[in-house]
Amino acid sequence: MSKALDGVRILDFTHVQSGPTCTQLLAWFGADVIKVERAGEGDATRGQLRDIPDVDSLYFTMLNHNKRSITLDAKNPKGKAVLDKLIKNCDVMVENFAPGALDRMGFTWERIQELNPRMVVASVKGFGPGPYVDCKVYENVAQCAGGSASTTGFDDGPPMVTGAQIGDSGTGLHLALGIVAALYQRNTTGRGQKVLAAMQDSVLNLCRVKLRDQQRLERTGVMKEYPQYPDQHFGDAVPRAGNASGGGQPGSILKCKGWETDPNAYIYFITQGAVWPAVCKVIGEPGWITDEAYATPAARLLHLKPIFARIEQWTMTKDKFEVMDILNAYDIPCGPILSMKEIAEEPSLRESGTIVEVDHPTRGKYLTVGNPIKMSDSSTEVTRSPLLGEHTDEVMAFLGYGAEEIHAMRDEKVI
Ligand code: CAO
């Protein structure tokens, strides 16, 4: 079977998480991704959070599948000459160095265009143009600067970061879309272009509904589906909403049987208007179907806390999977809180290729998250991440270097 991005060659100058997520996706869609790493050291994540001594970490392996790796000192003149050739032979360069690093290496946009006017140059940076443009940024900084932390957590607690890596992997996803769009536009213009995904912007895009709420709050002074309503005061900025859905269908995380000892014995329960009568019947409150205080969504907004407390009395009598089975029979939207252990062991996720077991020559077998995007005409086979410089010789040979030159450059630590 062919792949969506067959024939696209990527110069992958990325490291850590944000850039590598992007190029891994492109590799899963069939692009030939050549990861360029510093000779001797490689991507810093190879050695970070190691669980086995001297073996590439899971941090690295889980972000760099289906790629080739070459080592190169991009600050050495001979290394720069190799990069020139790579630029001429690739369609896309993806990088997430600190601001200005690529220019300092001598690879400005103008220089890259001179070498290959068709090249798409895609960058992740912490911030777009503005006061923080020169800052180095990691995941949680982006979550804080993009509006996520101020709107996550509970009203009586501090701002909170989330486990989902919306700053890094979220930005990598945005960048991948920009690259594919730029390649599509190149079909008509014949030109490459610069593509920028700033981590602050990507987080904010994922927090779009909170900017919606900011404006609703400014207009009306109150947000009736937030837990602060009706008893507490609203300030001038969107407050943290705990586990409230914050959307048009009120929801909450409720305890299930076993919550005293199992930190994940909970379910997310949504009281969608259309199934309110079913909710009332299931929890044993049929009178609430017609009771004026509960009968309409607007009336219920005044009583969400006691409503969820009553529903929780019911969910606490069942385990989360029993609750799920019972509610699904009535089309009541709900979701069990799944631990990573439960997810790793879930057979359906293995069958769909969302969780994949990969074999690695020095690590052995490990689990990873496969391609979350499934395509009917471009399947994904997840292959292990490359060892440092594993493909240097073959890529150098492809660029026209002979065995002796490769040997000499290795002796000089250029590659
Ligand atoms: N050969 C020679 N030099 C190389 C090289 C190579 N193959 N690869 C990298 N380098 C050099 C860079 O040119 C840079 O040199 P200068 O400082 O002289 O310009 C140096 O290595 C360090 O690069 P860096 O500043 O990008 O790396 P860092 O570890 O100091 O910072 C990070 C890391 C992530 C904070 C920074 O790269 C950054 O802000 N990136 C943009 C935002 C981003 O992607 N953040 C997400 C990271 S994932 O959590």
For the CA of 139, the nearest atom of ligand 1: 49
For the stretch 15-60, pLDDT in tens is 999 999 999 999 999 999 999 999 888 999 999 999 999 999 999 9
For the stretch 53-87, pLDDT in tens is 999 999 999 999 999 999 999 999 999 999 999 99
Ligand 1 centroid vs 387 CA: distance in angstroms? 20
Ligand 1 site-directed mutation target among 11, 70, 97, most atoms within 8 Å of CB: 97
Backbone phi and psi for residue 160, each to the nearest 5 degrees, phi listed first: -140, 140
Q: How many whole angstroms separate alpha carbon 366 and alpha carbon 368?
A: 7
What is the gyration radius of the CA atoms in the chain, in angstroms? 26
pLDDT category, 176, cuts 50, 70, 90? very high
Ligand 1 centroid vs 386 CA: distance in angstroms? 20
Q: Which residues are catalytic?
A: 168
- Global pTM reads 0.96
CA angle, 141 as apex, 135 and 142 as ends, to 5°? 90
pLDDT at 106: 96
Q: pLDDT > 70: what percent of the chain?
A: 100
Among protein residues, the one with the nearest Cα to ligand 1's atom 38 is: 98
pLDDT at 155: 93
For the stretch 358-402, pLDDT in tens is 999 999 999 999 999 999 999 999 999 999 999 999 999 999 999
Residue 58 contacts residue 369 (beta carbons within 8 Å): no
Ligand 1 centroid vs 409 CA: distance in angstroms? 23
For the stretch 321-341, pLDDT in tens is 999 999 999 999 999 999 999
For the CA of 74, the nearest atom of ligand 1: 1
For the stretch 239-261, pLDDT in tens is 999 999 878 899 999 999 999 99
User: Comparing C-alpha atoms, which of 345, 321, 346, 348 is closest to residue 334?
Assistant: 321
